[in-house]
Amino acid sequence: MAEPMGFFTDTTVCIGCKACEVACKEWNQLSATNGGQNVLSGQSYDNTRRLDGEHWRHVKFVEQFSEDRKEARWLMMSDVCKHCVQAGCLEVCPTGAIFRTEFDTVVIQSDACIGCRACLPSCPFGVIGINPVTRTAQKCTLCYDRMKVGMTPACAQACPTASIQFGPIATLRKKAKERVDALHAQGKAEAYIYGDEDILGGLNSFYLLVDAPEVYGLPKAPKLPTRGLWTSSIFVAFTAAVVGLLGIFSFRERKAKALPAAKGGGGEA
């Protein structure tokens, strides 16, 4: 198996140019929103809004203002599928259309997807969507086709500030730690890494953030849907037992009422 590969995104150097979004759409030949007639959100300069079946990269604009609106801060973050080490989407796919590659990334085979949508709620980050053209579930493949021939994913190739860095996970983790240490030395104690091993076994696309995960639209403690499987199973078994007992009692009650009637009917004959 090849070495695990992924992304390290340093949000502190993202300038929000969206070159990564354009490169992703161009390389993967993704359809334009609403046939190219996208309606502006009217709430932000971010008109892509979210990740879905035809937006595999999304640069978030987080706009923060003081109460008197004299001070402002923009946080920008190029978001993408996290290619989780413990991937909920892969676990629930009924056709095997979602598989783990030799690079430890998670890919959806569009020609094997039946569009059942089971994978959509299983992703704690909400990155998977149905492509309106193919009507199948789609998301970032981490440019699997490019990786197989030794090329850098299109988004990382296009990033002008090296906010998106691609490479072996071990190397990226080391770079991320060095970057956090450097920021701390500059007095930016709020810098930290989101996506260490404590989150779903580790995210193969992880981030350097300077505010709480929720500010960037990321869950603080994402969980797999199967984490509650045992609790749900016990509840279902208990419910089934109660329903079964009620059925038995009901059957015996009806039988008890039917016997006298049958005996009375026999006497009249």
Among 201, 200, 205, 183, which Cα is nearest to 192's? 183
CA dihedral defined by 170, 175, 178, 184, rounded to 10 degrees? -110
Please report the beta strands in 20-112, taking only residues with DSSP state E, as ranges in sequence order.
58-65, 72-79, 98-100, 106-108
Check residue 232 and give its pLDDT.
46
Which of 144-153, 226-235, 240-249 shows the highest mean pLDDT?
144-153
| Burial status of residue 23 (CB atoms within 10 A of its CB: 0-12, 13-18, 19 or more) | buried
Q: For 36, which DSSP code?
A: G
CA dihedral defined by 38, 24, 219, 39, rounded to 10 degrees? 0
Cβ neighbours for 230, distance < 8 A, ≥ 6 positions apart: none
What's the whole-number mean pLDDT along residues 173-184?
98
Structure confidence at residue 267 as a pLDDT band (50, 70, 90)? very low
Higher pLDDT, 39 or 43: 39
| Secondary structure element (H or E) that encloses residue 243, with its range | helix 229-268
Mean pLDDT estimate for the chain: 88
Check residue 41 and give its pLDDT.
80
Q: What percent of the chain has pLDDT over 90?
A: 70
Higher pLDDT, 138 or 230: 138
Q: And the tokens for 9?
A: 């995104």
